[in-house]
Structure 1
Amino acid sequence: MTVQIHIWSDYVCPFCLIADELIERAIADRAYVEVVHHANELRPYPTPTLRPEDEYLPDIWQRTVYPMARHHEVPMTLPSVSPQPYTRLAFRGAQYAADQGLGGDYHRRLLTAFFREDLDIGDREVLARLAEEAGLDPVAYSAALDQEEYAERHRQALAESERMEITVVPTIVIGGRRINGVATEGVIRRALDEAAAA
């Protein structure tokens, strides 16, 4: 029996990398668990994105992000990319990656590229390189970014997120349990046990 973890996230959300890491640790010995990633753009175009030189980002990182990351031993640094990239294109690529069975690898590669390597994940050339590093054909991936099929599937994913009333990323759903924000390994394991026993 397969138990699914559904997680709504955005590639420019540092808490999503922390959540992703904790989920991977929690399921390391549970081959029956499948992680399903869903899109939720924090600031969809044309909403202005955040700038690291403004007061908000450094403040929230010092007060919340860095302490949580240190506590869970998840290395990350506030990216210097300014303004922060829109993630619509990256999410179109995620639809293609999922078709190739590499959705999880792609998802993790983008998060680590932004928060550990300070790479601009809104840049098409950067995205193609990261896709290749995740195991995808970079030419086919780049072509997919412009295909209406993947644009429409991303729009449908955002509509689903709205129907689910996802207002916080990460949001994690395991069985009948919904967790808004980062969940510890223990909480994830207990939710998986409950879902498996249901």
Structure 2
Amino acid sequence: MKIEIWSDVACPWCFIGKRRFEAALAEFPHRDAVEVTWRSYQLDPTLPEHYDGTELEYLSTRKGMPPQQVSQMFDHVAQQASGEGLDYHFDKVVVANSFMAHRLIHLAAAHGRQDAAKERLLSDHFEHGKDIGSREYLASLGKDLGIPSGELEELFTTDKYADDVRSDVEEARSLGISGVPFFVIDRKFGLSGAQPAATFTAALDQAWQDANPLVLVNSGEGDACGPDGCTV
């Protein structure tokens, strides 16, 4: 079973959704048969590599949201994150364009480290105030992930994986995805948002049953018991 998750590093609900999905997957009996792929999505591709301002200022000025409403939203999201064991600090978030970070995730995928890259980027962005637009930070992260320095240098000096990021974003549009996180199972089932773990569990069960229907062989033969008794 293949699960594709469209997500942005700059999306607070994406980290919460990741935790809830992971909780459901951990209890799924067929989890070893599940392949998870992270797809790129950008909530605001127009952001500069670095934005001079806080997350509150960014949402207030660029999104037109009243500061008080933004603060209330931060409190609500942070509370939801805490329920999943996450420690958000919106006052420390560094606002930056996530395009390069998405390219790094694609590079990490080539080394079997995609989920580890996604996890670190989300945690560093929302819990530790790291600058996901900083090449110095991304290079350090790549090194921690075991990616060769030559490949990291190539990432920063060429357009490698840029088309992969754009392709993911374009594919999201073609699938009608307008917000993240968004989970697609076997290109048949779609779940929008950071759903409760129970919802992910139900979706996984339904998708598995759909892909592996029960086939009855010689169902009309053989002794059995029913509501009216057993065959003799």
Q: Provide TM-score, normalisation by structure 2.
A: 0.76
Percent identical pairs in the alignment equals: 27
Task: Report the residue type matching 1:101 in the other structure.
Answer: G
- The gaps in structure 2 that reach 5 residues or longer are 58-66, 211-232
Find the residue that maps to 1:36 and give its secondary structure.
strand
- The gaps in structure 1 that reach 5 residues or longer are none
Of 34, 49, 55, the match for 1:52: 55
Do the aligned partners of residues 130 and 70 (structure 1) sit closer, same or farther apart at CA in structure 2, a change above 3 Å counting?
Answer: same
Partner of 2:63: none
- Distance in 2 between residues matched to 1:133 and 1:58, nearest whole Å: 34
Q: Provide TM-score, normalisation by structure 1.
A: 0.87
Find the residue that maps to 1:27 and give its secondary structure.
helix
Kindly provide the CA deviation profile for residues 127-163 of structure 1, in whole angstroms up to 9, marking residues without a partner as x: 1111222332244223223333311222212211221
- Distance in 1 between residues matched to 2:4 and 2:127, nearest whole Å: 24
Do the aligned partners of residues 126 and 149 (structure 1) sit closer, same or farther apart at CA in structure 2, a change above 3 Å counting?
Answer: closer
1:170 aligns with 2:181: yes
Partner of 1:67: 79
**Over the residues paired in the alignment, what is the CA RMSD in angstroms?**
2.1
Partner of 2:32: 31
Equivalent residue pairs, number: 194
Kindly provide the CA deviation profile for residues 91-115 of structure 1, in whole angstroms up to 9, marking residues without a partner as x: 1111211112111111111001111
Counting only pairs closer than 5 Å after superposition, residues 3-18 of structure 1 correspond to structure 2 as 3-18=1-16
Do the aligned partners of residues 113 and 139 (structure 1) sit closer, same or farther apart at CA in structure 2, a change above 3 Å counting?
Answer: farther
- Distance in 2 between residues matched to 1:159 and 1:76, nearest whole Å: 30
Bigger Rg, structure 1 or 2: 2
Of 91, 104, 129, the match for 1:93: 104
